[in-house]
């Protein structure tokens, strides 16, 4: 399991002499280089998003991509005369991806050097590597889920949401309510596990613990009566977001230990993490159990820290922590909360199992 390269989440393509065989502004009839179409389609199928950073006239270059039948594969294309490092930065910001998950491919060494100078975390590739990218480990996610294959479509639905939000004049919550959001929390089954594993690998920003749970570990925990593995899906009027969250909960009679809470960066703006925490707090209150959330601060999960604190978690000590499994990593903090009943979410419908009632049955049996 050691030294797996970080999976590339978005590959940014140069166009002239990388995607097609010449310079479009000089030769309007340039054609795709051999193998490019196959590479783009294969990466798309693996869930690697793709974009464009090209020094060209936007209408001309985008029109040519449309003519070639490739335009639909690219999100947030940056076609202008500005520096490519700016284009790559814009793409990463729009996608809310860390630069270390972005790759850039260009035939010109100067362009690669420019990107590399300003954005050393971005991995750069030469154009002659284009058709062999699909053989590299960083472009080969271990698991390719249903969601991965539809990732680009889900992002594109997301852009339509953002466009609607920009046009929406009103309170934040009113906008969220207008989306008809439905969150489904369910106990994970065997089929959900590959999605769960992928999410914990991909979701650096909102993975509170920073601990990776392997497929095998999670499978074991599925069968463990002392643990709950829950997956979260989200849907709205523009379509499904797919699997967007995972919770791993160690349930004792008097304390529930939230060992893992990860939500996709795609749904951060919907407050999905807060809705989940709110639901969990209400369930724990019904069970009369304290909540202890494991949290390892990283430079990418500040939002999760804030979400915990805003939900009422504190660093105050409590006797209940003594009975929990010891932590493997001393950088992990344990945030504590004495739950009280919470009102349901006002921004979305939530369907979920009744954890508190089920647990009471399991612990006390049916008398």
Interface with another protein (CB under 8 A): 169-174, 176, 268-271, 274, 302-303, 305-307, 309-310, 312, 314-315, 346-347
CB of 31 to another protein, least distance (A): 46
DSSP alpha helix (H) spans, the chain:
36-45, 58-67, 84-95, 109-118, 146-149, 151-167, 172-178, 192-202, 215-223, 272-287, 302-311, 355-364
Closest CA to 256 of 196, 336, 343: 336
Residues contacting 319, CB < 8 A, separation 6+:
none
In this complex, which beta carbon is closest to another protein, that of residue 188 or of residue 272? Answer: 272
Residue 20 is given by DSSP the state B
- Which lies closer to another protein via its Cβ, residue 75 or residue 337? 337
Q: How far is the CB of 269 from another protein (least distance, A)?
A: 6
Burial class (CB in 10 A: 0-12, 13-18, 19+), 119: buried
Closest distance of CB 343 from another protein, Å: 12
**Number of other CB atoms surrounding residue 102 within 10 Å:** 25
Which residue matches tokens 């310079």? 23
Instruction: Give the residue with the Cβ less far from another protein, 267 or 355.
Output: 267
Nearer of residues 54 and 205 to another protein, judged by Cβ: 205
Give the separation between CA 353 and CA 337, rounded to whole angstroms: 21
CB of 251 to another protein, least distance (A): 25
Kindly give the residue spans of alpha helices, DSSP state H, lying in 312-367. 355-364
Backbone φ/ψ region at 12: left (φ over 0), alpha (ψ -120 to 50), beta: beta
| Residue (18 or 203) nearer to another protein, CB | 203
Distance of closest approach, residue 45 Cβ to another protein, in angstroms? 32
The span from the CA of 258 to the CA of 291, in Å, is: 7
Contact criterion met (CB below 8 Å) for 153 and 62: no
Q: Which is nearer to another protein, 40 or 348 (CB)?
A: 348
| Helix H or strand E encompassing 125 | strand 123-126
CA distance 294 to 271: 20
Decide whether 188 or 268 has the Cβ nearer to another protein: 268
Residues 87/55, Cβ–Cβ less than 8 Å: no
Nearer to another protein, 33 or 280 (CB): 280
């Amino acid at each position: 399991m050691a030294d797996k390269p970080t999976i590339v989440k978005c590959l940014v393509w140069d166009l002239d002499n990388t995607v097609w065989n010449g310079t479009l502004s000089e030769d309007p009839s340039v054609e795709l280089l051999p193998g490019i179409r196959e590479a783009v389609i294969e990466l798309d199928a693996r869930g690697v998003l793709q974009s464009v950073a090209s020094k060209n006239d936007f209408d001309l270059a985008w029109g040519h991509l449309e003519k070639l039948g490739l335009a639909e594969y690219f999100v947030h294309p940056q076609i202008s005369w500005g520096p490519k490092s700016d284009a790559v930065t814009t793409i990463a910001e729009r996608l809310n991806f860390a630069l270390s998950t972005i790759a850039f491919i260009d035939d010109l060494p100067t362009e690669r050097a420019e990107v590399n100078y300003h954005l050393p975390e971005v991995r750069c590739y030469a154009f002659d590597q284009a058709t062999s990218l699909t053989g590299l480990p960083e472009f080969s996610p271990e698991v390719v889920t249903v969601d991965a294959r539809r990732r680009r479509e889900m992002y594109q639905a997301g852009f339509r949401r953002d466009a609607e939000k920009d046009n929406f004049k009103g309170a934040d919550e009113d906008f969220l309510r207008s989306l008809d959001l439905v969150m489904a929390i369910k106990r994970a089954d065997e089929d959900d596990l590959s999605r769960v594993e992928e999410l914990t690998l991909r979701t650096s920003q909102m993975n509170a613990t920073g601990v990776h749970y392997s497929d095998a570990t999670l499978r074991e925990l599925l069968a463990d009566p002392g643990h709950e593995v829950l997956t979260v899906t989200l849907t709205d009027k523009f379509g499904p977001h797919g699997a967007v969250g995972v919770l791993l909960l160690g349930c004792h009679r008097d304390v529930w230990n939230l060992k893992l809470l990860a939500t996709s960066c795609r749904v951060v703006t919907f407050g999905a993490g807060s809705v989940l925490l709110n639901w969990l707090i209400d369930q724990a209150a019904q069970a009369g159990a304290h909540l202890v959330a494991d949290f390892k601060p990283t430079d990418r999960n500040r939002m999760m820290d804030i979400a915990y604190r805003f939900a009422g978690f504190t660093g105050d000590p409590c006797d209940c922590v003594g009975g929990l499994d010891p932590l493997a990593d001393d950088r992990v903090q344990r945030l504590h909360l004495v739950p009280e009943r919470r009102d349901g979410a006002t921004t979305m419908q939530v369907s979920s199992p009744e954890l508190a009632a089920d647990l009471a049955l399991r612990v006390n049996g049916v008398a």
